[in-house]
A = this chain, B = another copy of it.
């Protein structure tokens, strides 16, 4: 067996243990009783040590060196490139830093859960200072290894190929038109009336409605399932994708669209190329592309009037309430496109969401590059919230810079993926419409033409191409925020 095949066998073996980690991780969130946690944490730690050891075996460097000299097909070169990228990211940090960050991150995140409720910035900052310090060390080591800036090196973990230069350009564009668009839309919507859902929507009924919508979205139930967890997510493995949601019996709107969103993630996973399963080339291209698929489902399909029409019909049927004005098509459409300036990112609507993300991007970028310090964050947050959304978070840390989990354990570089995803989704839809009758497909109830396009252009490509190559092949240009702007203007002002 040559070095290339030895590498492939080795990473496939690692992928088996990652498979078990994914299933047990899902179990932890969706199934495990509380008392199971301590023993499970020990078992998962042993599993992660084992994966880490496999990833750090000394012969790998030699195999990579040999494989890079060997004659390989184009596909094999892509597989090798992605295997190496993952290997380097996983092995570049000294063990001591990995452990220190893991301990500091776990401590900070754990304490944050209470500190957030208590609006306790001082308590949080005491732990967070260390997380920021260690994350900067990480960023510097990754930067030295890749020749990037510290923040770009962190960004690369989630969005390979993305850079501050590109993001600044994209987000500056968005900032040039978003605030005034938001104001226009809010003014327009202030003249509309909408019927809010008022319970009681039983979880069981919401679940069967959710399953019906997943069916419409052609989720493959032979390779996945739907369950419940406190924080909805898409987990598992491509052959067995586990999505979760959370039901509130007071309303059905959020959970239903949450299921549509997670189904987008899931269909991407289910559609990844099986021939490359177990290697990095068979995995999702990036967090932004992953989010582009969930947001394609949630925003591009899910809020399409033809789709809302299906939702209205299905919801009225499941809740046995055909004359309830809440379920009227026009009302649902309004419910799903209401725009509000508010503090909390995870509750934000499609239009204000990018403002939340850009704010975080600008802060974490400067934090990682050493331009600002951890103690500057609340003040900057307040300034930017006032600037982008006209809201002050002075002294309101809970609804300000302490609201998200990402920074508590040092996951700097993740936030841009959300808005990149939204932009890619709009661009994919614009390209798809050149050859696919999207409205007609949705109206007919057979959405296959849409999914065939996504499968052919995105899902089946895995990580065989760079993000720029993938997007260019699919849409004939790299990421262009004009599509996002056109989409938002058409939906909210059209």
Contact = CB atoms under 8 A, between A and B. Distances in A.
Contact of A20 (B47, B222, B224, B239): B47
A40 interface: yes
A19 interface: yes
A39 B239 CA distance: 7
A24 interface: yes
Interface in A31-82: 31-36, 38-40, 42-47, 50
A42 B17 CA distance: 10
Given A20-B24, A24-B23, A31-B225, A240 B47 contact: no
Contact of A223 (B19, B33, B225): B33
Contacts of A42: 16, 19
Contact of A46 (B17, B36, B40): B17
Interface residues of A, number: 36
A31 B47 CA distance: 22
Contact of A16 (B34, B47, B237): B47
B24 A40 contact: no
Contacts of A39: 19, 237-240, 277
A228 interface: no
Nearest to A277: B39
A43 B20 contact: yes
Contacts of A23: 23-24, 27, 40
Interface string A231-251: 000001111100000000000
A50 B277 CA distance: 21
A305 to B, nearest CB: 33
A228 to B, nearest CB: 13
A13 interface: yes
A220 interface: yes
Contacts of A16: 42-43, 45-47
A24 B237 CA distance: 13
Interface in A206-221: 220-221
Contact of A35 (B32, B220, B277): B220
Contacts of A33: 221-225, 240
A223 B35 contact: yes
B20 A20 contact: yes
Contacts of A24: 20, 23-24
A339 to B, nearest CB: 38
A42 B35 CA distance: 30
A7 to B, nearest CB: 16
Contacts of A35: 220, 222-223, 239-240
Contacts of A40: 19, 23, 239-240
A380 to B, nearest CB: 43
A231 to B, nearest CB: 19
A224 B35 CA distance: 8
Nearest to A34: B222
Interface string A83-107: 0000000000000000000000000
A26 to B, nearest CB: 9
A40 to B, nearest CB: 7
Contacts of A238: 39
A221 B35 CA distance: 9
A309 to B, nearest CB: 30
Contact of A17 (B43, B222, B223, B237): B43
A300 to B, nearest CB: 27
A38 B240 CA distance: 10
A41 to B, nearest CB: 10
A145 B36 CA distance: 38
Contacts of A222: 33-35
Contacts of A17: 43, 46-47, 50
A239 B47 CA distance: 18
Given A33-B225, A39-B238, 19 more contacts: A16-B43, A16-B47, A17-B43, A17-B47, A20-B20, A20-B24, A20-B44, A23-B24, A23-B27, A24-B24, A27-B27, A34-B222, A35-B220, A36-B223, A36-B236, A39-B237, A40-B239, A40-B240, A50-B50
Interface of A: 13, 16-17, 19-20, 23-24, 27, 31-36, 38-40, 42-47, 50, 220-225, 236-240, 277
9 contacts: A17-B43, A19-B43, A32-B240, A33-B224, A33-B240, A35-B222, A39-B237, A39-B238, A39-B240
The list of the 10 closest CB pairs from A to B, nearest first, reads A36-B240, A16-B46, A35-B222, A19-B43, A35-B223, A16-B43, A39-B239, A36-B239, A33-B222, A20-B20
